[in-house]
Amino acid sequence: MAKEDYEIIIGLEVHCELSTKTKIFCSCPTEFGGTPNTHCCPICMALPGTLPVLNEKVVEYAVKAGLATNCEITRNSKNDRKNYFYPDLPKSYQISQFDLPLCYDGYITIETEDGEKEIQIERIHIEEDAGKLNHDEYGRGSFVDLNRAGVPLIEVVSRPDMRSSTEVESYMRKLKSIFEYIEVSDCKMQEGSLRADVNVSVRKKGTDKLGTRTEMKNMNSFRSIVRAIEYEAERQIEVIENGGTIIQETLRWDDISRKNFFNER
């Protein structure tokens, strides 16, 4: 079968840093950059005995984002711990939302070649950002910078409604313009304020069952998102055409070599 006999299915998890003045659970500034470890306190450094206090503005901004994307707003919400170990996450868990997101069942309308199309939004939840690891280029080690730890994020989870890299680009651009317009985020992609985890799978046209998907995390430029989707869809089609199976995994896109790599993390 040829490439044209396949359909590409794409879903996005978009992380967007909220432009509140202070972090989600403490009064440290959210300002980008700064000398490492100067925008932090015992709470966002997760020292023992500290307790998070939710920043009301974060909830307000997230609800605003939900209303602007036609979501239902929950009356009953809570935060949950998502446990994972990584050096840039001092608590070893991220405070996020699991089963009761603030906003759910929304949609936005995008322009496509065939006219307008609705992309469904499954949920928008609030969570804290992690710190950053700076890897020393001379191999002397890695340095942890916790300035970003505790910066508020919303995660916007779409349904797998997109069928091409062009649709993904219009969806991202639309979200970006909405969030800029309602002033909940500066959406600076080069500073990581807006970044996407991209889920891609392929299936033969005319079938209903979703194929196995792979994920590319933390993509922060339209150009690399488009390239990565096209590369990944072609790779998956080739694997299937050669009788192989797609393994569900996280891949790392490299924009220099324009290839996907299997992630070491």
Q: Which is nearer to Zn ion, 26 or 237 (CB)?
A: 26
> Which residue in 16, 28, 71, 102 binds Zn ion (CB under 5 A)?
28
Residue 24 in contact with Zn ion, rule: CB under 5 A: no
Select from 193, 184, 152 the least CA-distant residue to 27. 152
Q: Which is nearer to Zn ion, 22 or 236 (CB)?
A: 22
Residue 26 in contact with Zn ion, rule: CB under 5 A: yes
- Both tokens of 131, joined, read 């710190």
Residue 41 in contact with Zn ion, rule: CB under 5 A: yes
If DSSP codes are grouped into helix, strand and coil, which group holds residue 54?
coil
Give the nearest distance from C-beta 162 to Zn ion in angstroms.
Answer: 37
Select from 90, 68, 93 the least CA-distant residue to 79. 93
Instruction: Sort 67 into a burial class: Cβ within 10 Å, 0-12 / 13-18 / 19+.
Output: middle
Contact 254, 260 (CB under 8 A): yes
Residue 59 CB neighbour total at 10 angstroms: 15
Q: Which of the stretches 34-42, 191-199, 219-227, 246-254 binds Zn ion when contact is defined by CB under 5 A?
A: 34-42
- Both tokens of 8, joined, read 């590409």
- Both tokens of 18, joined, read 């909220």
Q: Which is nearer to Zn ion, 43 or 154 (CB)?
A: 43
One character per residue 42-71, x = contact with Zn ion (rule: CB under 5 A) = -xx---------------------------
Q: Which of the stretches 37-45, 46-54, 168-176, 241-249 binds Zn ion when contact is defined by CB under 5 A?
A: 37-45
* Segment 146 to 205, residues that bind Zn ion, using CB under 5 A: none
Sites of contact with Zn ion (CB under 5 A): 26, 28, 41, 43-44
